[in-house]
Amino acid sequence: MDLKNKRPAVMLSTEIIQKRVVEMATLIRQDYAGQELTVVGVLKGSFIFMADLVREIDLPLRCDFLGLSSYGSATESSGVVAITKDLDGPVDGRHVLVIEDIIDTGLTMAYLLQNLATRRPASVKIASLLSKPARRQIEVKIDYLGFTIEDRFVVGYGLDFDGQYRNLPFIGTMD
Ligand code: IMP
């Protein structure tokens, strides 16, 4: 698929995303009331979603980041995942909320959940902006989901194609 130099078409506008992010934050705030939260962003795709989400969560929380890179072509993940940046702090005994941009095959998240479990957190939940259930290879329980989308390659709001388009303020389609 030659996607370079294409202009993405808007699938989810900035306004629609912002409204949904506030709704998700409200649910998270209610569910974690009285608890301390450790929010773990999966780099790089989650950085814009996480920045918007945490600013709407009025709770004591820490932010940490995990860099994951999944081998494969620009648009297909292989399920072979490498940690490119580990967490800065321990998560044992902590309530961890993992922030992802998109759950596609589910392979990256399945690997991450296994990895986190060895660090003995008090709990682990997942917040993902997007999900493409048609592509799932492993079932993943998404506790807080922004939008279910059809099987199309999307960019913007943190998501890239070949390292580009992360700075688009909306989610756009390339195909
Ligand atoms: P999974 O392991 O197949 O679930 O893939 C997860 C990762 O693949 C995401 O965190 C994204 O980085 C990337 N990805 C999957 N689908 C898309 C897409 O449509 N656009 C951009 N990146 C995607």
- What's the pLDDT tens digit per position in 53-104? 999 999 999 999 999 987 666 666 667 788 999 999 999 999 999 999 999 9
Is-contact 124 117, C-beta < 8 A? yes
- Residues forming the active site: 104
pLDDT tens, 35-62? 999 999 999 999 999 999 999 999 999 9
Q: Which residue has the tokens 């059809």?
A: 150
- When the candidates are 3.40.640.10, 3.20.20.70, 3.40.50.9100, 3.40.50.2020, the CATH number that belongs to 18-161 is 3.40.50.2020
Listing DSSP states for 60-111 in one string gives -EEEEEEEEEEEESSS-EEEEEEEEE--SS--TTSEEEEEEEEESSSHHHHH
Q: Which residue has the tokens 């929380």?
A: 61
The more confident residue out of 117 and 74 is: 117
Q: Which helix (H) or strand (E) holds 136?
A: none
Question: Which residue has the least CA distance to atom 15 on ligand 1?
Answer: 104
Pairing mode, strands 95-103 and 154-155: unpaired
Out of 42, 49, 77, 145, give the residue to mutate to test ligand 1, the one with the largest number of ligand atoms within 8 Å of its CB: 77
- Is the Cβ atom of 158 under 6 angstroms away from ligand 1? no
pLDDT of residue 2: 54
Q: Determine the distance separating the centroid of ligand 1 and the alpha carbon of 25, expressed in angstroms.
A: 22
- Is the Cβ atom of 106 under 6 angstroms away from ligand 1? yes
pLDDT of residue 6: 74
Closest ligand 1 atom, CA of 81?
Answer: 2
Out of 46, 66, 76, 101, give the residue to mutate to test ligand 1, the one with the largest number of ligand atoms within 8 Å of its CB: 101
Torsion angle, CA of 113/29/85/42, rounded to 10 degrees?
70
pLDDT tens, 12-39? 999 999 999 999 999 999 999 999 999 9
- Is the Cβ atom of 77 under 6 angstroms away from ligand 1? yes
- Is the Cβ atom of 70 under 6 angstroms away from ligand 1? yes
The whole model's pTM is what? 0.94
- Is the Cβ atom of 130 under 6 angstroms away from ligand 1? no
Q: 85: cis peptide before it, omega within 30°?
A: no
Question: What are the φ and ψ backbone dihedral angles of 126, each rounded to 5 degrees?
Answer: -120, 130
- Is the Cβ atom of 159 under 6 angstroms away from ligand 1? yes
